[in-house]
Amino acid sequence: MSGDTKRLRAVVKGVGSALPNRCVTNKELEETVDTSDEWIVQRTGIRQRYIAGEGETTSTLGIRAAQAALDRAGLTPDDIDLIVCATSTPDYTFPSTATMIQAGLGCTHGVAFDVQAVCAGFVFAVSTAEKFLVSGSHKRALVIGAETFSRILDWQDRTTCVLFGDGAGAMVLEAEEQSVAAAGGNLPRGVLATCLRSDGRHRAKLYVDGGPSTTKTVGFLRMEGKEVFRFAVGQVTDVMAETFASAGITAEDLDWFVPHQANRRIIDASAQKFGIPTEKVVLTVQDHGNTSAASIPLALSVACGDGRIKPGDLVMIEAIGGGFTWGAAVLRW
Ligand code: ACO
Residue 37 CB less than 6 A away from ligand 1? no
What is the mean predicted confidence (pLDDT) over 146-169?
98
The 8-class DSSP code of residue 186 comes to: P
Listed in sequence order, the residues at least 6 apart from 35 whose beta carbon sits closer than 8 Å to its beta carbon are 26, 29, 158, 162
- Active-site position among 85, 138, 290, 304: 290
Identify the CA nearest to 292 among candidates 123, 91, 154. 123
| Residue owning the nearest CA to atom 28 of ligand 1 | 226
Per-residue confidence at 1, pLDDT binned at 50, 70, 90? very low
The angle that helices 295-305 and 58-73 make with each other, rounded to 10 degrees, is 30
Degrees (nearest 5) of the Cα angle 22, 27, 28?
Answer: 45
| Residue owning the nearest CA to atom 29 of ligand 1 | 43
Q: What is the CATH topology of the domain spanning 6-179?
A: Peroxisomal Thiolase; Chain A, domain 1 (3.40.47)
119 flagged as catalytic: yes
| Residue owning the nearest CA to atom 32 of ligand 1 | 225
pLDDT of residue 5: 87
Domain boundaries of the chain, sorted by first residue: 6-179, 187-332
The CATH number assigned to the domain with range 187-332 reads 3.40.47.10
**Phi and psi (nearest 5°) for 269?**
-65, -40
Identify the CA nearest to 205 among candidates 236, 227, 181, 184. 227
186 flagged as catalytic: no
85 flagged as catalytic: no
pLDDT of residue 181: 66
Q: For residue range 178-189, list pLDDT tens digits in order.
A: 887 655 567 899
Comparing 6-179 with 187-332, is the CATH topology the same? yes
pLDDT of residue 180: 79
Ranges assigned E (strand) in the chain: 6-18, 22-25, 48-51, 82-86, 111-115, 140-148, 166-179, 190-198, 206-208, 221-223, 256-259, 314-321, 325-332
What is the mean predicted confidence (pLDDT) over 206-224?
98
Per-residue confidence at 304, pLDDT binned at 50, 70, 90? very high
Sort strands 6-18 and 166-179 into parallel, antiparallel or unpaired.
Answer: antiparallel
Residue 297 CB less than 6 A away from ligand 1? no
Q: Select from 42, 43, 122, 270 the residue to mutate for testing ligand 1; criterion: most ligand atoms less than 8 Å from CB.
A: 43
Q: Select from 26, 46, 228 the residue to mutate for testing ligand 1; criterion: most ligand atoms less than 8 Å from CB.
A: 228
The mean of the pLDDT values for the chain is 96
CA 225–ligand 1 middle distance (angstroms): 5
- Active-site position among 119, 161, 195, 304: 119
Residue 228 CB less than 6 A away from ligand 1? yes
Q: Three-class SS of residue 165?
A: coil
